[in-house]
A and B are shown apart, each in its own frame.
Chain A
Amino acid sequence: MKYLILKHYRGGPGHPGMDYTPMDQWKPAEVDAHMQFISDFASRLQDTGEFVDSQALSTAGAFVRFDGEGRPPVTDGPFAETKDLIAGWMIVDVESWDRAVELAGELSASPGAGGEPIGEWLEVRPFLTGVPGNTE
């Protein structure tokens, strides 16, 4: 079963204003440790055959919507605040929901400033890729 592990810039249930020290203000060794953790995590999932895809998103971009026939789409952006934005995702193909949760928990423990686990909220969402049932 495939699951999307979604990383937001910050926030989560009950923690709308959860703040992290921006990474450029960490010590260089802490930055290295964080990046090594993420890289090791992905290669470990490749070894176990559970890794599907991982992508990071730029903070640039805009909201866009239709604004009537013959008119150009309305855009709202660039974003004033990055806190509600998706930062990136990892897609895993695993045996169970429990395994997806376990993996997201491990990923959330990536080390941050002071080498402490960040403990950020990650959103875990199952893909709708099951076999369609009889709807008659």
Chain B
Amino acid sequence: MTPGFDTADLRELVPAVIAVLGRRGADFASAEDAVQEALIRALETWPGDPPRDPKGWLVAAAWRKFLDATRSETARRGREVVVDAEPPAEPGAAADDTLRLYFLCAHPTLPSSAAAALTLRAVGGLTTRQIAAAYLVPEATMAQRISRAKKRITGLPLDRPGDLATVLRVLYLVFNEGYGGDGPDHTDLAAEAVRVTRQLVALTDEPEVAGLLALMLLHHARRDSRTGPGGALVPLAEQDRSRWDTTLIAEGVAVLQAALARDRLGEYQAQAAIAALHADAPSADETDWVQIVGWYDELLAITDSPVVRLNRAVAVGEADGAGAGLAALAAVDADVPRYAAVAAHLHERAGDRERAAALYAEAAGAAASVPERDHLTREAARVRQLLRDDAS
């Protein structure tokens, strides 16, 4: 890539260019296709020959692609009349158009995998190839998924407020997909989710959007310390805190504080508050677990989620001792993912190593990822070694 050409700048233009085509009368599905083609062309030609007016270039290229695609001469004449009649954008209209794109791409009628892909393409300005590589599926499969999603939302009215909760859920899914860690060659989904959420924060006045951004920033700040040699998982308590990104933490905390000051608490703000308390602790021992339990109580009141209940049991175990943690665990459904891992941890802290070892082995068998499985297998082996040492 030549210096001075930043693909992020290019990608940020994508939603605005789709909106321009929309104002000229193009339907969403065709406009989005045309802009995608223009984007691919830009990625090929801009590094060697950057345009003076990037947005003007993209609009012109996308409009040409759109006209080519509509083919029929009469249609073409009709469209050109529309161009002449294109209303000048009112102040704030561009922002509204971009916001509508978020709602459309993450429409509640879409399966979440399709919503995530469409959001990354139309709002995030990624190419189909990049999205496919990030999700480890063939490019043709991803293209089809996106095209089917667009068919599904064709003709939906865009003039009513969309479902913000769905938009946030989709963005958080994209972030978590990337947070799991992927190779250096892949598109960084976590970074893309942060970028697109940042854009959304600038467009809305909703504290939960800021809460989600804060949560992402605070998790993102710890990313490098989450994995050891060979991709091994490093749990929070054992992470090298000097490797946490203090700039991201400071930003996350500032964004969160501004959101909390609005006094409209939601689940992302509460989760971000918990992440901020972890980020704030100079060492694992100095973590303010009592406050964390308080935030889990808030979170539970909002979501009543079994996963939150499970994580709360861990926090209670740290704040009030393993016995209290086990008592809190008794109220959690044993089918919740990671239940056995949490039970193992609490039983070990309570001094029951036999049970802890068996539970760690059970948890390894139920793990959802290889790093998690390997980590839990190591934990089982570690506790069994302690048992052998005790016996000898």
Contact = CB atoms under 8 A, between A and B. Distances in A.
A31 B381 contact: yes
Interface string A105-130: 00000000000000000000000000
B54 interface: no
Contacts of A59: 365
Interface string A31-75: 110011001100000000000000010111000000000000000
Contacts, number: 40
Contacts of B373: 56
A36 B377 CA distance: 14
Interface residues of A, number: 18
Q: How large is the interface on B (under 10, 10 to 19, 20 to 34, 35 or more residues)?
A: 20 to 34
Contacts of A60: 366
Contacts of A30: 381
Contacts of A95: none
A25 B374 contact: no
A23 B381 contact: yes
A30 B388 CA distance: 15
Nearest to B385: A28
Nearest to A30: B381
A81 to B, nearest CB: 14
Given A56-B370, A59-B365, A26 B381 contact: yes
Name the residue among A24, A26, A32 with the largest chain B CB count within 10 angstroms.
A24
Nearest to B365: A59
Contacts of B104: none
B93 interface: no
A27 interface: yes
Contacts of B140: none
A24 B230 contact: no
Given A24-B364, A39-B230, A32 B385 contact: no
Contacts of B364: 24
A24 B380 contact: yes
Contacts of B152: none
B232 A35 contact: yes
A30 B231 CA distance: 17
B230 A35 contact: yes
A40 B232 CA distance: 13
Given A35-B232, A36-B230, A39-B231, A24 B385 contact: no
A132 interface: no
A23 to B, nearest CB: 5
B353 interface: no
A133 interface: no
Contacts of B378: 28, 31-32, 35
A31 B374 CA distance: 9
Name the residue among B360, B367, B373, B381 with the largest chain A CB count within 10 angstroms.
B381
Interface string A1-17: 00000000000000000
B11 interface: no
Contacts of B230: 35-36, 39-40
Contacts of B368: 58
A35 B366 CA distance: 18
Given A31-B378, A56-B373, A24 B232 contact: no
Contacts of A25: 381, 384
Nearest to B363: A24
A21 to B, nearest CB: 11
Contact of B385 (A22, A27, A36): A27
Given A24-B364, A24-B380, A30-B381, 12 more contacts: A23-B377, A24-B361, A24-B384, A28-B378, A28-B381, A28-B385, A31-B377, A31-B378, A31-B381, A35-B378, A39-B230, A59-B365
4 smallest CB-CB distances across A and B, nearest first, come from: A24-B380, A39-B230, A24-B361, A28-B381
9 contacts: A24-B381, A25-B384, A27-B381, A28-B385, A35-B230, A35-B232, A36-B229, A56-B370, A56-B373
Interface of A: 22-28, 30-32, 35-36, 39-40, 56, 58-60
